[in-house]
Structure 1
């Protein structure tokens, strides 16, 4: 079973976003350079073809980036929900949020909290607006703790 610390949940960043933005900028620069070179030398058709290929790659990477940003936005909203849940549970248990770990990165119906006092289960009501915190005993737990 994998548990994520509060630090991991709050500081987890997607570094691929920066690489994709860098790739977009590089492709845009190459595209503009090839297109300008083609406009100056219209007799050389290979630069026209290369600029079309680069433009197509640019649009493809841009589509991936937009899709990834939408996914990142929903993941950020879900992470915000789970971190607020962890802070309220920390207040109830009278510990710091950094001492808690949770078994999911989004709120679902089967959340387990690892605290210094033991393991707790969060049981949500039907609409997800409230929960019950109860202490549980895990039998032979194989715990993997992912930290920031």
Structure 2
């Protein structure tokens, strides 16, 4: 079972978006380089062809990013709910936030919260503004901790 710490949830919210933006910037730079080379050497059409290929790759990558945007927005909203939840659990149980880990990156009913060495199942209300913790016992005690 994989558990996630508060620092992992805070750091990895923007990581995928950053990587996608960097790839798009690289494609734009490659297109600009190929355009400059093509305008300098108009008889060599390979620069134009490379520019077209990079432009098509940019369009393809932008299309993938747009289709994933809604899914990522929803997931980031749910992940951003997890940060105050972990802080609230830590405050209620008088422990540090580093001692609280969860087995999901999204706040949903039924996730497992580990406080120190004790496991609890989260029962969320219908509105999602309050929760109860019920003592739980996991079958597989091997834990992978993502920090």
Q: TM-score, normalised by structure 2?
A: 0.78
Equivalence for 1:85 = 85
1:3–1:143 Cα contact (<8 Å) kept: no
RMSD (Å) for aligned C-alpha atoms: 2.6
Contact 1:5 1:145 in 2 (8 A): no
Does residue 121 of structure 1 match 2:125? Answer: no
How far apart in 1 are the matches of 2:39 and 2:139?
70
Alpha-carbon shift at residue 13 of structure 1 (Å): 5.4
Greater shift, 82-91 or 65-74, is seen at 65-74
Residue 142 of structure 2: aligned partner: 143
- Residues 44-70 of structure 1: CA distance to partner in whole angstroms, max 9, x if unpaired? 333322221221112223333445555
TM-score (normalised: structure 1) = 0.78
* Distance (whole Å) between structure 1 residues aligned to residue 40 and residue 31 of structure 2: 14
Count residues with an aligned counterpart: 147
Gaps of 5+ in 1: none
1:134–1:18 Cα change, 3 Å: closer
Q: Shift of the alpha carbon at 1:109? A: 1.1
Q: Quote the offset at 1:3 in angstroms.
A: 1.8
Residue aligning to 1:7: 7
Unmatched runs of 5 consecutive residues or more in structure 2: none
